[in-house]
Amino acid sequence: MTGSGQTIAFRGVARDFGAVKALLATDLDIMAGEFLTLLGPSGSGKTTLLNIAAGYLAPSAGRVLIGARDVTDLPPRRRNIGMVFQNYALFPHMSVFDNVAYGLRARGVPRADLERRVEAALGMVRLGGYGARGIRQLSGGQQQRVALARALVIEPDVLLMDEPLGALDRQLRQHVQLEVRRLHRQHRRTTIYVTHDQEEALVMSDRIAVMREGRLEQIGDAETLYRRPDNAFVAGFLGESNLLRGVVTAVDGVRARLRVDGMAGEIAGAAAAGLVAGTPGAALVRPESVRVSPAGRFEARLVERVYLGELVALRLALGNGQAVVCRRFARDGAPDGDRLAIDWDPGDVRILPDANSAGTTSNRTEEET
């Protein structure tokens, strides 16, 4: 089975359901052979965009191109896509072989070629020799790999995956994540993957498109989104974050300053695009950047200590009620007392726009709410 991939482009694609705007006008280019994840909470528009790519939903506006073909008005069967669903969508009365062969039979593939391709697909997902088994004889992880083999065996131009690991337990989910990633690196088939699980997105993706309320918030590789998010929503959704909310007091080129009520002085850091003095902002400080030090500038109360094996997470409350999480190596020992001084390097801080802060739950500990 040869690897292949086509570009896919969305041009002004939007979708309304009556008065509900499920997807705002969206432009997105996915490179040939790329693994792109659509990441966001429920209702963000990610599955709507995937279903438009598949042809299961028609856009209210805009065009969809796969390679050089405008497929906007084509039915799913004419788009040469492979689809993997969360609920597997396997035929329980068929064998593993017949489930994988289903799409090839629908395309009239000759028997000898069909058998070769099915066996190759099962080998790819490490289910060689399972062809004669019934679907009900397989574990959840094995069933999901059958669904993946069925999508791959037709050699699609684009592989679409809609939260395919959502029904698996955590350990099995992590194993299958690595299997899917291994297959992609081996065959480089253009893939669009939908999930609300940030860890899954970080592990599997070449790039991640973070979505909220029907629009794309930011697109980039995992490190870019983690280290240089465009706004407080992206920062809070991708990775564990300390977001100290306040008002932007100054923007000077690539640097900015933020005033947070109840904290002495101002917080300085790198400036994200779009910052304007006098508007709401948030200082992003990742937990690994917070340090406990007698010379720390900010006093905090220790609320909870969580042992994580190699690491210990300290949950702290600042004097103004905002919560801060600090991660440190367990071998460094636990700090004494319930009152600690903390600090961070200004080079580890990013000042972000926080236009929706009024409607966002503040970083307060449960004891203060």
For residue 332, is it within any domain?
A: yes
Same domain, 216 and 264: no
Burial class (CB in 10 A: 0-12, 13-18, 19+), 200: buried
Task: Report the distance separating Cα 41 and Cα 224, nearest Å.
Answer: 20
Handedness of CA 265, 271, 277, 283 (dihedral sign): negative
- 68-72, 97-101, 307-311: segment of lowest average pLDDT: 307-311
The per-residue pLDDT for 356 is 61
Q: How far is it, in rounded angstroms, from Cα 298 to Cα 319?
A: 9
Q: Are residues 290 and 331 in the same domain?
A: yes
CATH number at residue 254: 2.40.50.140
Residue 267 domain flag: yes
pLDDT of residue 362: 37
Q: Evaluate whether residue 353 is within a structural domain.
A: yes
pLDDT tens for residues 207-238? 999 999 999 999 999 999 999 999 999 998 88
CA distance 364 to 344: 20
- Final residue belonging to a domain, choices 225, 251, 272: 225
Whether 230 is in a domain gets the answer no
Residue 3 in any domain: the answer is no
The pLDDT value given to residue 308: 86
Could you tell me the pLDDT band of residue 365, with boundaries at 50, 70 and 90?
very low
DSSP-assigned letter for residue 287: G
- The CATH code of the domain that includes 39 is 3.40.50.300
pTM for this entry:
0.85
Instruction: Based on the fold, state whether residues 208 and 330 are members of the same structural domain.
Output: no
Average of per-residue pLDDT values in the chain: 89
Q: Is residue 19 part of a domain?
A: yes
Do 27 and 173 fall into the same domain? Answer: yes
Give the chain's domain count.
Answer: 2
Mean pLDDT computed over 77-94: 88
Is 126 within the bounds of a domain? Answer: yes
Across the beta sheet with 158-162, the strand order is 81-84, 158-162, 190-195, 35-39, 207-212, 215-220
Parent domain of 167: 8-225
pLDDT band at 2 (very low <50, low <70, confident <90, very high): very low
Verify that 165 and 291 share a domain, yes or no.
no
360 pLDDT higher than 50: no
pLDDT tens digits along 157-209:
999 999 888 777 788 788 888 888 888 888 889 999 999 988 889 989 999 99
- My answer on whether 171 and 298 are in the same domain is no
Domain boundary among 173, 194, 225: 225
pLDDT in the model for residue 358 = 40
Residue 70 and residue 191 in one domain:
yes
What is the distance between the alpha carbons of residues 264 and 319, in angstroms, rounded to a whole number?
A: 10
- Check residue 307 and give its pLDDT: 85
Domain assignment present for 133: yes
What's the DSSP call for residue 95? B
Report the pLDDT value the prediction gives residue 4, as an integer from 0 to 100.
58
Q: Radius of gyration (Cα) for the chain, nearest Å?
A: 24
Domain co-membership, 152 together with 263: no
Residue 316 has pLDDT above 80, yes or no: yes
Q: Which residues have CB under 8 Å from 188's CB, separation 6+?
A: 3, 4, 5, 33
Question: Are residue 161 and residue 277 in the same domain, yes or no?
Answer: no
Residue 362 and residue 213 share a domain:
no
Could you tell me which of 105, 191, 179 has the C-alpha nearest to residue 141? 179
Burial of 69 (0-12, 13-18, 19+ CB in 10 A): middle
Q: Are residues 275 and 211 in the same domain?
A: no
Read off the DSSP letter of residue 327.
E
| Domain edge (last residue) among 225, 252, 272 | 225
Same domain, 19 and 63: yes
Q: What is the pLDDT of residues 9-28, one digit of tens each?
A: 999 999 999 999 999 999 99
